[in-house]
Structure 1
Amino acid sequence: MLGFDPTLITFTIYIFGMLLIGLLAYYYTNNLSDYILGGRRLGSFVTAMSAGASDMSGWLLMGLPGAVYLSGLVEGWIAIGLVLGAYFNWLLVAGRLRVYTELNNNALTLPEYFHNRFGASHKFLKLISAAIILVFFTVYCASGVVAGAKLFQNLFLVGYSTALWYGAAATVAYTFIGGFLAVSWTDTIQATLMIFALILTPIFVLLSISDTTQFSTVLEQAEMAAHKNFTDLFSSATPLGLLSLAAWGLGYFGQPHILTRFMAAYSVKSLVKARRISMSWMALCLGGAIGIGFFAIPYFFANPQLADTVNREPEQVFIELAKLLFNPWIAGILLSAILAAVMSTLSAQLLISSSSITEDFYKGFIRPQASEKELVWLGRTMVLVIAALAIWIARDENSKVLKLVEFAWAGFGSAFGPVVLFSLFWKRMNAAGAMVGMLVGAITVFSWKAILPSDSDWFKVYEMIPGFVLASAAIVIVSLISGKPKQDVLELFNKAEKTYKEAK
């Protein structure tokens, strides 16, 4: 029996706090625009923190530290790629997408934006893009459910199947109640909690190893025992392997849960300040996550009696360090950061998936005249349905958080990334090019490793690279060999570009 366990008390207070924010947001949610994009009124700070928190899911505190603990600093190439990708996403995409979506009939979702941007006479483009969102987000949501389940399983000693429901319940509740505003406001709190945990924990791990000399000595001993060079950034991986790690950055251009934060910003100018805040937060968080995994190597080597859990399940390295090094009350706060990371991303993904069904399927195909109240409540219902599917996918106790995220990230990056970039910078692109590009990107991610022999070096390449390249090529080729966009589409593109430059 847990009784008055400090960690349990901390968790309970945290969860109830998030639910109260959801209830508050409920009273500010009057229509579908409020539920999906918060009425496009997010300020710089909330935009920045919400974009960061919805991006950095449970993999930041579990998957990345676990990968570094297992393989060393070479896994840091993921962070390098992500920082570069995020920066260029803010620089090249954020402001333009904010303007283009508003001018294209105030598009609330990416599928609706694609449909309006290319002046499609049919709804196949909207249908295909909405279907891609549902497929990959269901997998992405499952990664969050797995991370939450492993956290509850470790802390409260319950079975994995029970922990699945514990981990998902709070997130589903406040997303169901408050929609986008609840998700964005809670993201701001959760992002603050995450950076606190990721800066404090590696410092305490390092301090627990008495001095620099002992740290270096123990690290060398750990390297000899594992036959690895944990400090090497290059020789422990092939050039294709390094490229695959760095290629994570390409995925930013196609992530709907991040792009919608740009769409919801108050103005283009507010995004400049938001970019500075978000990039600073991101660099500190990624550095902290790498530090946790790296410093844990000599710590657990020097304390083998404490290493059973992390050696069996490296993704739990942060959980174990927090429990071992901190007072239970502080540990409860730090471990709430994992729940914060899970909740922030999972809630954003549930909301985007729900929005696609509500706005792009239901309103777009079934009931175009549906009332705002009907659409909001349908959106809430779809949150429950998608969460149930994610829980079903996550039912395997051996699921790995980073592997699920890796697949979904590549899917969105390949299917949507090139389409978003070309739609904002190339006015010659047309609906046919967008549709084929999306399909080529998604199909490549699904089939890349299935069509190659497992002993081929190309089999080990991250699916993002061939998916992104082939999708881009398909967009250019199909757009050029098919008809030019209509004159009104070209005029709207020119107007959007002019509006963006004036708004900077």
Structure 2
Amino acid sequence: MVENSLSIGITFALYLLLMLGIGLYAWKRTSDLSDYILGGRSLGPWTSAISAGASDMSGWLLLGLPGAAYISGLSAAWIGIGLLAGTWLNWLIVARRLRVYSFVASNSLTLPEFFEHRFRDNSHTIRVISALFILLFFLFYTSSGLVAGAKLFNTVFGLDYTTALTIGTLAIISYTFFGGFLAVSWTDLIQGLMMAAALVIVPIVAMSEMGISTTFARVQAENPLLLEWFRDAATGERLTWIAIVSSLAWGLGYFGQPHILARFSAIRSPDDIPTARRIAVIWSALGLVSAVAIGFTGLVYMPGVLEDSETVFMAMVNAIFHPLVAGILLAAILAAVMSTADSQLLVSSSALADDFYKAIFRKQASQKELMWVGRISVVLIAAIAYSLALDPDSSVLNLVSYAWAGFGAAFGPALIMSLFWRRMNRWGALAGIVVGGVTVVIWAQISGGIFDLYEIVPGVIFSYLAIVIVSLVSGEPQPEVTAEFDSIE
């Protein structure tokens, strides 16, 4: 793609300038920590829905999933089914109640702060441990985004991997540093629409050139297993129940992702949530179906095996479109990477500023001081994630799957139960968070037999058990805790 790099480079430069401009504008709209972390709870349904989806799917949707479908065919789509179900259930079950409860619980700005106020944990134990898990898993999650960005610049411009990684990291830091949550959400809206358009356009154009019936005939001729749901085209083996459950279980992760849950807390009114839910589900369905279609159409549109299957989207764009159009479509990958990495950096910096610095060290810190602590934290966390991403052989999908499981198991059960179970107490919450997070870390280190099951499954199961058992044996919650819960009802 290097021969078209000038035209594509101009497109990228204009896009990055637009994102930076939005960041500088949001700077003027950000006056306190609430603005920096939750945008003053002012998001409309379109912004909250698309930014939640864009920050969720990231470069994985344009690189990881098409790459998996390129190798394994339709059997890779089980992940998409789980994710679509998780998106719908998250908006249906969690969004409205979290929006209301997080405001009632002392206007909690972060997930750790919500847990602390929900259970009146004056020791700050839940808050600090939650923040530690956020920092741990977001380092891997943010690294996956930086790896995806580096692969983009490396493939398109022929840049050295480290140079490409550096450019992408600096671009993401710039507007997140300045604009906070508003910049992140507004840019995510633009980036999410770009992602959807690019994902839909590429397979439609490829299939229209080849013909729909011809496309499927070529796929069938290439490898009949590519169109089978229950057999992996790469190995020829039937999918085991462990493989199918592991793929579907990705949907469990939604209930514990801090960067997605932040959009629920930030929406301007609970009445906007049904509209936002419909937008989010339609956007996710279009993106997931199109990503899988790109994978197996790319295999027959461009005969020959790619060195890296996760570059199939980029290769197709370059093969089909004029360089100027290709530049716009490839900018969607940059958009996907930036839309997730900026959200992760913001949540991580919020954990450091609000859940460590303010809660433990400087309880009387001013709003301006906390904003600057948050901005400095963005740079520090990005630097650590950058160091983790320096390995050019890193897999976007593998990095995402580990972090996704960590958040889903550590926070998903704790959040669901804290929103809907009156009897839950702070010891149950703490046990659920620790057991879920630790289970993921340990399970991921073991392989073979039942341990090939995606670590989010045992993590979620053990977390729920820990919450129920510990809450029941450690006594009733405080009267003010149950009174607040009843007021939400």
Contact 2:253 2:412 in 1 (8 A): yes
Shift of 1:221: 2.5
Match of 2:235 in 1: none
The structural deviation recorded for 1:182 is: 0.3
Structure 1 residue aligned with 2:26: 25
The letter of the residue matching 1:358 is A
Contact 2:255 2:408 survives alignment (8 Å): yes
Cα offset, 1:49, TM superposition: 1.1
Match of 1:184 in 2: 185
Q: Secondary structure at the match of 2:403?
A: helix
| 2:79/2:248 contact within 8 Å kept | yes
Partner of 1:480: 472
Q: Which residue of 1 aligns with 2:214?
A: 214
2:36 is aligned with what amino acid? Y
Superposed counterparts of 1:266-285, under 5 Å: 266-285=268-287
Residue 487 of structure 1 deviates from its aligned partner by: 0.3
- 1:158 shift after superposition: 1.0
Aligned partner of 1:261 among 243, 255, 263: 263
CA RMSD of aligned residues (A): 1.3
CA 80–119 in structure 1, closer or farther in 2 if over 3 Å, else same? same
Q: Are 2:218 and 1:230 aligned?
A: no
Distance 2:399 2:171 in 1: 21
Superposed counterparts of 1:82-481, under 5 Å: 82-209=83-210, 211-223=211-223, 229-235=225-231, 236-300=238-302, 303-304=303-304, 307=305, 310=306, 312-450=307-445, 452=446, 454-456=447-449, 458-481=450-473
Secondary structure of residue in 1 paired with 2:229: coil
Partner of 2:486: 494
CA positional deviation for 1:449: 3.8
The separation in 1 between residues aligned to 2:470 and 2:174, in whole angstroms, is 44
| Paired letter, 2:197 | F
Alpha-carbon distance in 2 for matches of 1:57, 1:4: 23
- CA gap of 1:68–1:262, structure 2 versus 1, over 3 A, is same
**CA displacement 1:103-129 (0-9 Å, x = unmatched):** 000000000000000111311111100
TM-score normalized with structure 1 length: 0.94
Q: Which shifted more, 37-46 or 254-263?
A: 37-46
Contact kept in structure 1, 2:220 and 2:227, CA below 8 Å? no
Task: Determine the C-alpha separation between the residues in 1 that align with 2:213 and 2:359.
Answer: 65
Q: Distance in 2 between matches of 1:329 and 1:433?
A: 56
Q: Which amino acid aligns with 2:51?
A: S
Q: Equivalent residue of 1:56, what SS?
A: helix
Letter in 1 for 2:263: R
Shift of 1:379: 0.4
How far residue 56 of structure 1 moved from its aligned partner, in angstroms, is 1.1
Distance 1:404 1:443 in 2: 17
Partner SS, residue 399 of structure 1: coil
Match of 2:486, as an amino acid?
N
Cα deviation for residue 214 of structure 1 reads: 3.3
Runs of 4+ in 1 over 3 A off after TM superposition: 1-4, 211-214
Q: In structure 2, how many angstroms separate the alpha carbons of the residues matched to 1:490 and 1:463?
A: 33
Post-superposition Cα deviations, 1:76-95, rounded to whole Å, max 9, x if no partner, equal 01110011111110001000
Q: Take 1:288 and 1:347, find their aligned partners in 2: how far apart are those partners?
A: 24
**Residue segments in structure 2 that go unaligned for 5+ positions in a row:** 232-237
Q: Tell me, yes or no, if structure 1 residue 13 matches structure 2 residue 22.
A: no
Tell me the CA shift for residue 3 of structure 1.
Answer: 9.4
The verdict on how the C-alpha distance between 1:27 and 1:2 changes in structure 2, with shifts beyond 3 A counting, is farther
Cα distance in 2 between the residues matched to 1:31 and 1:213: 57
Amino acid at match of 1:234: F
Equivalent-residue separation in structure 2 for 1:157 and 1:403 (angstroms): 24
Matched residues in 1 for 2:309 and 2:9: separation? 23
User: What TM-score, normalized by structure 2, do the two folds share?
Assistant: 0.97
Give per-residue Cα distances to partners, 1:49-103, cap 9 Å, x unaligned: 1111111110000000000001010110111001111111000100000010000
Distance 2:470 2:452 in 1: 29
Give the equivalent residue in structure 2 for 1:502: none
- CA 66–4 in structure 1, closer or farther in 2 if over 3 Å, else same: closer
- Superposition pairs for residues 23-62 of structure 1, below 5 Å? 23-62=24-63
Shift of 1:4: 7.7
Using the alignment, how far apart are the partners of 1:61 and 1:4 within structure 2? Answer: 20
**Superposition deviation, residue 217 in structure 1:** 3.4
1:222–1:180 Cα change, 3 Å? same
**One-letter amino acid matched to 2:474:** S
Q: Secondary structure, in 3 states, of the residue corresponding to 1:13?
A: helix
Shift of 1:2: 7.4
Please state whether the residue corresponding to 1:27 is helix, strand or coil: helix
Does the CA-based 8 Å contact 2:5-2:156 persist in structure 1? no
Counterpart code for 2:427: A
Residues 344-400 of structure 1: per-residue CA shift (max 9 Å, x gap):
000000000000000000000000001111100110000000000100000101000
Q: Closer, same or farther in 2 for the Cα pair 1:3/1:319, shift >3 Å? A: closer
Deviation at 1:218, TM superposition (A): 2.1
What is the percentage of aligned positions where both structures have the same residue? Answer: 50
- Secondary structure of 2:190's aligned partner: helix
Give the Cα–Cα distance (whole angstroms) in 2 for the partners of residues 91 and 124 of structure 1.
30
- Corresponding residue for 2:234? none
State the alpha-carbon separation in 2 of the partners of residues 121 and 375 from structure 1: 21
Number of the residue aligned with 1:500: none
Count residues in correspondence: 482
